[in-house]
Amino acid sequence: MEHNNTQEKLLYELQVADFALHECVLYLDGHPYDRAAKEYYNKMLRKRKALEQEYEEKYGPITYYGNTSDSWQWNDGPWPWENEASMNRAKQAGRTIGNANIAMTQKERR
């Protein structure tokens, strides 16, 4: 996957870490005494926490429980998965994405 900016790269790395953790949990469910798997799980958990911290320091909270500021900003748009192409299509259609209202034409309401 080619990344055109740091935010996308960090989000992708978070997704990779989440996938690895999920797979490791499934493996450990069947092999609870596998020391190497537990070490790998702990390693990936540390990596994921570091990536999440870096992402949130640069771009704001990525989850509702990541919001530690006095304001409630975790859901301010755009959402992490809303890439620039989606934003451009929405703008061309006269809509906004994220927290804002979406303006619909009469044809779209039917």
Instruction: Tell me the C-alpha distance between 98 and 81, whole Å.
Output: 11
Domain 1-68: give its CATH code.
1.20.58
Give the pLDDT means over successive 10-residue stretches in the chain (110 positions): 75 96 97 96 97 90 67 62 60 53 46
Residue boundaries of the structural domains of the chain: 1-68, 75-110
The structure's pTM equals: 0.60
Query: What is the SS3 string spanning 66-105?
Result: HCCCCCCCCCCCCCCCCCHHHHHHHHHCCCCCCCCCCCCC
The pLDDT score that the predictor gives to residue 59 is 84
Q: If 0-12 CB within 10 Å is exposed, 13-18 middle and 19+ buried, where does residue 108 land?
A: exposed
The pLDDT score that the predictor gives to residue 30 is 96
